[in-house]
Amino acid sequence: MSDRSGFETVGSRTIADLSFLTVNMRDVRTPDGAIVERVVIEHPGAVAVVPIIDGDILLIEQYRAPVERHVLEIPAGKLDHDGEDRTITANRELEEEVGYRARHLEPLTTIWTSVGFCDEVIHIYLGTDLVEGNRRPVGHEEQSARLVRMPLPDAVDLVTSGVIADAKSIAGILLAAHRGPA
């Protein structure tokens, strides 16, 4: 694959196939003709939801092993298979993590999370007109997670003060706040 910059992927080999991630070593031809190796993590993609109810946002605080701490974030989860309907995934994750479904999901943005080494894309939605569902946490982290409800402006303050540092949550919270009342 080539883009207008003159860089071109000329080879790729799988280093590891781990659960839902694939680690590849790509050979990339640079504009001056050199071949360089780049590690690329392939990810199936994910969705995230900024759930708003009566002007409040619903967040989940859960342990995240890569950063070895609890992180306050918007509900999110990976796409389970190619072509999976993102709105179905968004409502599934919302219900699993915070116990609500959104009657209305509005796309806010799509972000690449770590373009330096990973192709993960997260589709972020604003979830409104929430109805109670059945919270079904998956995995140890979700089972021990704490649900947090607060006014959306308070969540914006936590973003600007650095308390909320998760990229998808920062993007979703700021875009939802910029959009105005739901």
Catalytic positions, written as ranges: 141
Residue 128: how many CB atoms within 10 A of its CB?
Answer: 17
Radius of gyration of the CA atoms of the chain, in A? 18
Beta-carbon contacts of residue 89 (< 8 Å; ≥ 6 apart): 47, 77, 79, 80
Beta-carbon contacts of residue 141 (< 8 Å; ≥ 6 apart): 62, 63, 64, 65
Q: What is the C-alpha to C-alpha distance for residues 98 and 147, in angstroms, rounded to an integer? A: 7
| Encoded tokens for 180 | 């105005």
| Encoded tokens for 90 | 């968004």
| Encoded tokens for 20 | 């839902």
Q: What is the C-alpha to C-alpha distance for residues 164 and 45, in angstroms, rounded to an integer? A: 22
Q: What is the C-alpha to C-alpha distance for residues 170 and 161, in angstroms, rounded to an integer? A: 11
